[in-house]
Amino acid sequence: MYSETVEIRGHFIDSLLLPKILDDILQNGAEFVVEELRVGKRRADPSYARVRLTSKDAAALDKLLKRIRQHGATLVHEQDCELAKAEQDGVFPDGFYSTTNQQTFVRLNGKWMAVERPEMDCGIRVLPDKAGAACVPFTDLRAGDLFVVGHHGVKIEPLERPSKEDVFSFMSSVVSTEKPKGTVARDIARSFRDMRYRGRKILAVAGPAVVHTGAAPQFVKLIESGYINLLFAGNALAAHDIEYALFGTSLGVYLDRGIPAEHGHENHMRAINTIRKCGGIRQAVEQGVLKKGIMHACVRHGVPFLLAGSIRDDGPLPDVITDVIEAQQRMRSMLSEVGIALMVATTLHSVAVGNLLPATVKTICVDINPAVVTKLADRGSFQALGIVTDVEPFLRELCQELNV
């Protein structure tokens, strides 16, 4: 028989992490004995548990330890993490530790050290003098860099469960159309005010349905009132927003009347051509060609935007970054002060940006399709609050709650 003893600290009772760990132990054919359990007396008090695991197979025990580490369990007698050098650019050493989006620590020279820039699907690069560690994607690793391999000497600090008064306590429930939208919008508005008061940024990730559904005026209000500080989108959002600003249509349909314009299908191409002729979105605003809309508001109010391209784009607009690696790196560099991410009506961009965010960033995903919200959570952004609704009424209600 092979045994190890692990410790779990924090708020693992109300977050149900302890039963999840114990269930993992049994499901993987091992046995456990809870040697010590101290439960916090008040909600703010952390709890502590020491659990002894026993397995007939050493490899199975090692695999089990790797699983429960993701829930915050650490060995009582932990060792320093193991390091190995990358042998070539863009290739991690065999057995590298693949990261999550949760706060991670590595043990170096007998001390635990926080890993900088938590991000899922990366490796942990350690400085040559072992004075620091950070998450690094494939594209940024170089031959000779030191990386953590295996799972020993690594621990996760699970995200604490929000209080009942926090709208993000909803994240623990299944995605449903039955959530009270008015209450959720009110609580999100409160979170937006709190974030602005603390000087953190609010990121919006938006798809073209924001324009199609007639929600662009509400989106502009959020930009003008300082409740959107950064915008990530694709070519389509900008192209259709500019089409609406120049021709009053979105995909050839008049949004104020709901009827197609004659030859309206050409309008989005004519809009793209107009911006290309100006040299870009900012130039079109400065030249007085683009006078309203989401992109106009971003330029006028100094809100940075990043448009990432895809293979299906028309045009694209001159501002679109068509190299996806460059777009991803630019996004990553702009996220440092983001406290809330509002993802509206876009699947691929939501998942892409969700992959870059640490779990501490409150994430709200609004979409009429429940599968989008589920997909975002399934890809690792478990902290996402999913709201299944049409974008326009949600943004209208959010603006009302914010008095903008």
Question: Does 352 or 163 have the greater pLDDT score?
Answer: 352
Using only C-alpha atoms, what is the Rg of the chain?
Answer: 24
Q: Determine the topology of domain 175-402 in CATH.
A: Rossmann fold (3.40.50)
3-state secondary structure 166-234: CHHHHHHCCCCCCCCHHHHHHHHHHHHHHHHHCCCEEEEEECCHHHHCCCHHHHHHHHHCCCCCEEEEE
Percentage of the chain exceeding pLDDT 70: 94
Residue 269 to residue 159: CA distance in whole angstroms: 46
Q: Domain segments of the chain: what residues? A: 1-77, 78-158, 175-402
Q: Give residue 55's identity as a one-letter amino acid code.
A: S
Residue 154 has pLDDT above 60, yes or no: yes
Q: What is the pLDDT of residues 198-225, one digit of tens each?
A: 999 999 999 999 999 999 999 999 999 9
Residue 84 to residue 66: CA distance in whole angstroms: 19
Distance of alpha carbon 234 from the chain centroid: 17
Give residue 174's pLDDT.
46
Shortest CA distance to 204 belongs to which of 179, 230, 223?
230
Helix (H) or strand (E) holding 148: strand 146-149
Question: Does 293 or 180 have the greater pLDDT score?
Answer: 293
Sequence-distant (≥ 6) Cβ neighbours of residue 291 within 8 angstroms: 245, 285
Q: What is the pLDDT of residues 294-351, one digit of tens each?
A: 999 999 999 999 999 999 899 999 999 999 999 999 999 999 899 999 999 898 899 9
- For the domain spanning 1-77, the CATH number is 3.30.70.2690
Query: Where are the strands (E) in 268-331, listed by range?
Result: 305-308, 320-321
Among 23-27, 77-81, 238-242, 371-375, the least confident range: 371-375
What CATH class has 78-158? mainly beta
pTM for this prediction: 0.84
The answer to whether the CB of 86 falls within 8 A of the CB of 141 is yes
Residue 372 has pLDDT above 80, yes or no: no
